[in-house]
Amino acid sequence: MPRRYDPDRRQRIIDAAIRVVGEKGLAGLSHRSVAAEADVPLGSTTYHFKTLDELMVAALRQANEGFAKVVASRGGLADDRADLAAELAGLMGEWLAGDRTGVELECELYLAALRRPALRPVAAEWADDLAARLTRRTDPRTARALVALVDGICLQVLLTGVPYDEEFAREVLARVIP
């Protein structure tokens, strides 16, 4: 039987992995569960992604794009006239108000880097990107502190179920900005 041309298969596998993690958590992620979700042969998942770590790297990289899109769409981080604390607080609010499953998935994959060294460089990409954007408006140390604060606020909202308080976030971020 001739091999079927399927140029989108790799992307469908990544999308399926994201859905599996969204529904079952990382514990439910396997080549078999992703193949079933993507409706592809098991061999396709292992052809495109030799290990689960490779698949998680691809999923995390795609998930990171969610926050990057919010940052790019707003554009206020680059505007010297914009209130930096208000802009960051607004970014967090917009991101947290998005698809809850997607937001949780991004955080779950991000935290998975604690136990999976292969994910660490990808997990660091979004923090490095945000810090680089912030360094255009402030010094590198303050930029890193702001990234850490954004991380902490987002994780607290996701883990505690407490609604996001944009005014609180703006106030605390402003305390860090010189």
Paired tokens of 27: 């514990």
* CATH (residue range 63-176): 1.10.357.10
Extents of the domains making up the chain: 1-50, 63-176
Q: What is the DSSP string of 90-143?
A: HHHHHHHTS-HHHHHHHHHHHHHTTT-GGGHHHHHHHHHHHHHHHHTTS-HHHH
Q: How many CB atoms lie within 10 A of CB 116?
A: 17
Residues 6+ apart with CB under 8 A from 60: 106, 109, 110, 112, 113, 119, 122, 123
pTM of the model: 0.81
pLDDT, residue 1, reads: 45
φ/ψ (deg, to 5) at 151? -55, -50
* CATH (residue range 1-50): 1.10.10.60
List the single range of 43-52, 78-87, 97-106, 110-119 with lowest mean pLDDT: 97-106
pLDDT, residue 113, reads: 86
